[in-house]
Structure 1
Amino acid sequence: MTATVPGAPPPVDAAHDPHLSGTFEPVIDEIDAGDLEVTGELPPEMDGMYVRNGPNPRFTPLGSYIFPLEGDGMVHGMWVSGGKARYANRFVHTPMLDAEIAAGRALWGGLMTGYTPGAAEVGPSLAGTMKDLPDINVVRHGGKLLALAESAPPYALTPELATVGRETFGGSLPAGICAHPKVDPRTGEMVVFCYGLEAPHLTWSVLGPDGGTRRAPAAVAGVDQPVMIHDMALTERFVVLVLGPMYFDVAAAMRGGSLLAWRPGDGTRVALIPRDGGPVRWAHTEAFWSWHSANAYDAPDGGVVLDYVEWSRPGGLSPDTGPVVGGIARAEIDPVSGTIRRRFLTDPHGMEFPRVDDRRIGQQHGVVALGTKTQRVALANGEFDAVLWLDTATEQTVTWDAGDLSVGEPCFVPRPGGSTDDGDTAHGWWVTFATDRTDRSSWFVVFAAADPGAGPVARVRIPVRVPLGLHGAWLPTEE
């Protein structure tokens, strides 16, 4: 058991936490490995890096551990070029993580404990601070590679994944940005939001293609209490935010209760924020929760279409009991009447991490890919044993059963020079990391987008285990 100082909470029981054991068990070593073994054939045109972030506690967490909201960030990179592959992984080295490495143990408590170390342990500059957690996503924008946190400053990385430091965009965004910014492929702008415990509780802003702040943080009118929002979507006209009734309750937390409160009686609201700076349009429906959006676009009738994963409630983050139903859904939002029509596009049997061809962000898309469960074996939240592709035009699906492999979020890799006229069904590949539940071996798998149900056209053996994580991006080689 990890030693702690008096007053600090004890370490959690990692062996019995599904997100600290099994396919999620953290790794400690940072490695580099080249000339990896390939089964099948890596497409010779594929030239770039797939990089994925995820929670990977360096030391056993103290007091509590809430997946997917906490854990030290670790980025995993797979470089592919000329039919060959190499791999490396690196911790995102925050000052807090480095202090824990120097001490040889965890110093900060989990988010639900509220415990922070004092000056005697970490010095005056870090005493009483919350731990930085850039462990959710990764994006490259304005020439910078960024490891993203949940509404906090990201951390800049070098192209070889070494940590540069906290990024505030020249001091223009000191509160940080969201974990799921969206880059408009037409304009090159990156649109972000940030929520906070203090007013203004929700802001949005825009970074230009060069990484400079094009629109300073602007408050979203109509948000009068701190609310959790994980993802967003973008259309040519609107920033789309889904506000489920999940609120931060600091007073309850100080009394020993939960920091997060699920209040389904409030229903769920969707904010359509005009990108030209006009007044926000609100739509309202009965309560549901959404972690992730696939994409959104403007409909010919003036409405907005949003494809997303809908859950009946936020699972382990709410005190409700009973089954949690989740699946890929479509919302048709009328910005004039404020009404929402929702329906599931598939059987809602548990799926997450929806992705489209990023070149279609903000425009009508063809295929949505996401992880799903066969229901054959019991899997932890965030763990999947199949990949599903949904053709949104026909609403037909194709599934690849991964067998003993647990798979992560799929990511689209466009064919260099390929056209987007045929959407994301005829060009390119889908990639993800996968780990075998029987022998804990890990793989990088590649599917042909034209026929993904046929299974991987290439599997790259990674010489170390890659824990299941969260979100990633394909970064083509820059000329």
Structure 2
Amino acid sequence: MPTTDLSPAGPALPIALPVDVTTVAHLQGPFAPVVEETAAADLPIEGELPRELDGVYLRNGPNPRFTPLGSYVYPLDGDGMVHGMWLSDGRARYANRFVQTEALRAEEQAGRALWGGLLTGLIPDSSEVGPELGGQPKSLPDINVVRHAGRLLALAEADCPYCLSPTLDTLGRETFDGMLPAGMTAHPKVDPRSGEMVVFCYLIEAPYLTWATIGPDGVVTRPPTPVAGLDRPVMIHDMALTERFVVLVLGPLYFDMQAALSGGSLLAWSPQDGTRIALIPRDGGPVRWSHIDTFWSWHGANAFDDGSGPDAPVVLDYVQWNQPGGLVPGPTQGALVRATINPRTGAVGRDIIDQGTMELPRIDDRVIGGRHHRIALVAVTGKRPVVGGDHDALNFVDTQTGERVQWDAGDLAVSEPVFAPRPGTHDADQGWWITFATNRTNGESWFLVLPAHGPETGPVARIRIPTRVPLGLHGSWLPTQE
């Protein structure tokens, strides 16, 4: 979620008009939403699709069903749309579906948008949408899609997820038998050793931040537990996990409800406060806090314990920015950084792995919480003009050597790369990086398969999709046999 403009545009109006799509870059070109739900089989393939790939790749992203009212903030606004690519026996089929929230169904019945954008503050009352939805903000499960304990979950920034069927039909809100009534953020982490899913959720009111755990059977094993040490609401998009700790990076980006109600910005950047890192012991011990110079991070790649003793450092790889790009004026500078955190003293050392405009770091999910050696990211080459959130390259970084190789995607706007391992192997070089991509010039969309060994050589297979796939956010490779 690297580039969003949340500058206040003045007080919210009681009546919001549809935005002028021609003036909003994130409603045009490779970002332009699609309203059709498509299903197509036996898609044309260029190159050779590895027959070992057997499963489905799912990716979520914001896709407004109707022209937004008042404002549109990418990627925090927009209805969720999940795109799926099923692969088996060298063949491919595709489908996309809206996440059918109650609010989206009300808008479809009305034939237009009823809720305003994030900056607009327009929320319909009961006379327009009924008592259950009236006066309530719109649910936007448009950020991520994961599978855990047999549940397929479309995830919002901070809200209850929506459960989907294997064919991407919406089954309804998921509260885990009422144990997680406030939901979770869009980046839970599943421990590959235990199958436990760890989640967190930030809140506008005290306690402001909680964390919880869900067992491999889908039952909540730790209810929402407040994180001590916060006195105001703060936005935190991602988390990392080690065998000992939940790792959260808290940049000084606060929710300011009073300012929003008086026509100001909902989010306030306060760089004078510095950035904090929380190490939350998974066994329930006291939180270990580190306080360091100000930076912002949307996404982490992974974290791990560098040793086995109680004072063993925690290593965290993440994408760092000098400020949240687009949220505040001024230039942004990005880097892939490794932080080494002393859990006893709170001291933090930071080393730059790579510099430049890059985002959405991913690793081989089988080593989440353990040592990783490969990170893949979307990147910008600087060879062609792209707007924020559009990327024209994929970077692949070896964290042991610091070597970085790049595949230049040219006219293709590429989405987050996800690792699909070769079945029966455990090496991160044995498998493929997969992603969607859309041509900025003609709107053609493709599913790309790049070899994990030598990804800079480009795709070994390109699957033509019969409809345009807008740029989106996060997804998962779900093999048929796990």
The TM-score with structure 2 as length reference comes to 0.96
Q: Give, in whole Å, the separation in 2 of the partners of 1:208 and 1:188.
A: 7
The structure 1 segments of at least 4 consecutive aligned residues displaced by more than 2 Å after TM superposition are none
Residue identity in the other structure for 2:465: I
Q: CA RMSD in A?
A: 1.0
Which residue, out of 104, 128, 134, partners 1:127? Answer: 134
**Residue of structure 1 in register with 2:148 after alignment:** 141
Partner of 2:391: 384
1:56-455 aligned at under 5 Å gives the runs 56-300=63-307, 302-318=312-328, 321-347=329-355, 349-419=356-426, 422=427, 424=428, 426-455=429-458
Instruction: Tell me the amino acid that sits aligned with residue 61 of structure 1.
Output: P
Distance between the aligned counterparts of 1:167 and 1:378, measured in 2?
A: 41
Tell me, which stretches of 5 or more residues in structure 1 are unaligned? 1-5
Distance in 2 (alpha carbons) for counterparts of 1:405 and 1:292 = 23
Distance 2:181 2:304 in 1: 30
Q: Aligned letter for 1:462?
A: I
TM-score, normalization: structure 1?
0.96
> How many angstroms does 1:120 deviate by?
2.3
User: Which digits, 9 at most, give the CA deviation of each residue in 1:179-227, with x for residues without a partner?
Assistant: 0000000010000000000111000000000111011110000011100
Please state whether the residue corresponding to 1:346 is helix, strand or coil.
strand
The answer to whether the 8 Å contact 1:8/1:109 transfers is no
Q: Equivalent of 1:37, from 37, 44, 47?
A: 44
C-alpha contact (below 8 Å) 1:327/1:352 kept by paired residues: no
Amino acid at match of 1:203: T
Q: CA deviation at 1:8?
A: 2.2
Alignment of 1:16 onto 2:16: no
C-alpha distance after superposition, 1:392-438 (max 9, x if no partner): 0000011000011010000000111112xx4x1x2110000000111
1:84-139 deviation per Cα after TM superposition (whole angstroms, max 9, x unaligned)? 00000000000100110111110001112211012222112211110000000000
Equivalent position to 1:463, from 456, 461, 466? 466
Residue 478 (structure 1) shift: 4.2
Residue-by-residue CA offset, 1:209-258 (whole Å, 9 max, x unaligned): 01110111100000111000000000000000000000000011111100
Match of 2:4 in 1: none
Q: Percent identity?
A: 63
Separation (CA, whole Å) in 2 of partners of 1:119 and 1:284: 45
Aligned length: 467
AA partner of residue 397 (structure 2): L
CA distance in 1, matches of 2:340, 2:17: 47
Separation in 1, partners of 2:236, 2:244: 20
Whole-angstrom CA distance in 1 between matches of 2:96 and 2:48: 23
In structure 2, the residue corresponding to 1:265 is in which secondary structure? helix
Within 2, Cα distance between the matches of 1:178 and 1:478?
Answer: 27
Q: Quick one: which amino acid aligns to residue 135 of structure 2?
A: G
> How much has 1:453 moved relative to structure 2?
0.9
Quick one: which amino acid aligns to residue 303 of structure 1?
P
> Which sections of structure 2, spanning at least 5 residues, go unmatched?
1-12
Secondary structure of 2:326's aligned partner: helix
CA–CA distance in 1 between the matches of 2:228 and 2:43? 52
Distance 1:79 1:369 in 2: 22
Of structures 1 and 2, the one with the larger relative CO (CA 8 A, separation 6+) is 2
